[in-house]
Each structure stands twice: as structure tokens, then as C-alpha cells.
């Protein structure tokens, strides 16, 4: 049994998680300001702490964030880049396949 992640499945989870603009805002805040609590994120975004926590749970399921116990037992969330890199690889493979097809079409259309 392979321990390699299913690239398509990981990419799908990332795309689903990032389809929501609020989750993209949370991702941007974590990328800019580093690890943060749901309370810290809610203070910077126009949503409640409970809503942030729900979005973070979706992002955690997709592997985009990980939680760690911080000072005074506050849970801090940190970005994980691996799922995003896997999604990038998936998109690059799709783009390469399309490039090959488009090159073949161009060659066919320009043949004498």
C-alpha cells in the first residue's frame, strides 16, 4: 500500500476549502501575520470567532492549517504549505497535458 498522497484528492480538498472567500481571507491573514488564534483572526475579519473556528475546521480537514496549543491553553493555527504545493503540482500537470494537446493542434493546423 502506497503512502503517497492521492494528488487529485488533496488538490480537490484544497480547492473546495479555498472556494470560500472567507477562508481565503483567513489564509491570507495567517500568511501575513503568522500563527493566530480564532479570536485574533475574528478581530481582523468581519466575522465572529465561532464562524472563524468553523472555517478553520474546514481548512484543517484539507490539511491547510494545523493547530497547536499556545500560551494560556489558547489554540493557535499555523499554515501548512504542503497541500497547496500538491494542488500546484496537480494544476501544473493539467496545464502540461493541455500544452501538449495545443501544440499538437497547432502542428496539425500549420502542416502544408
Task: Classify 7-110 by CATH class.
Answer: mainly alpha
Say what the pLDDT of residue 28 is. 94
Q: What number is the average pLDDT over the span 8-28?
A: 94
C-alpha cell at 14: 484544497
Read off the pLDDT band of 48 (50, 70, 90): very high
Please report which confidence band the pLDDT of residue 54 belongs to, taking 50, 70 and 90 as the band edges. very high
Residues 87 and 47: their CA atoms lie apart, in Å, by 27
Task: Measure the CA–CA gap between 45 and 26, rounded to whole angstroms.
Answer: 8
What is the chain's mean pLDDT, rounded?
88
Q: Which residues contact 4 (CB under 8 A, 6 or more apart)?
A: none
- pLDDT value at residue 4: 55
Question: In this predicted model, what pLDDT tens digit does every residue of 22-42 receive, in sequence order?
Answer: 999 999 999 999 999 999 999
What are the extents of the domains in the chain? 7-110
Full-model pTM: 0.75
Amino acid at each position: 500500500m502506497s503512502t503517497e498522497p492521492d494528488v487529485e484528492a488533496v488538490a480537490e480538498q484544497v480547492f473546495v476549502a479555498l472556494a470560500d472567500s472567507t477562508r481565503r481571507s483567513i489564509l491570507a491573514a495567517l500568511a501575513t501575520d503568522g500563527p493566530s488564534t480564532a479570536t485574533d483572526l475574528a478581530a481582523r475579519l468581519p466575522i465572529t470567532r465561532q464562524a472563524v473556528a468553523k472555517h478553520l475546521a474546514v481548512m484543517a480537514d484539507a490539511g491547510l492549517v494545523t493547530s497547536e496549543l499556545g500560551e494560556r491553553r489558547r489554540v493557535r493555527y499555523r499554515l501548512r504549505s504542503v497541500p497547496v504545493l500538491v494542488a500546484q503540482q496537480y494544476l501544473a500537470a493539467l496545464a502540461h497535458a493541455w500544452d501538449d494537446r495545443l501544440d499538437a493542434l497547432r502542428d496539425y493546423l500549420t502542416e502544408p
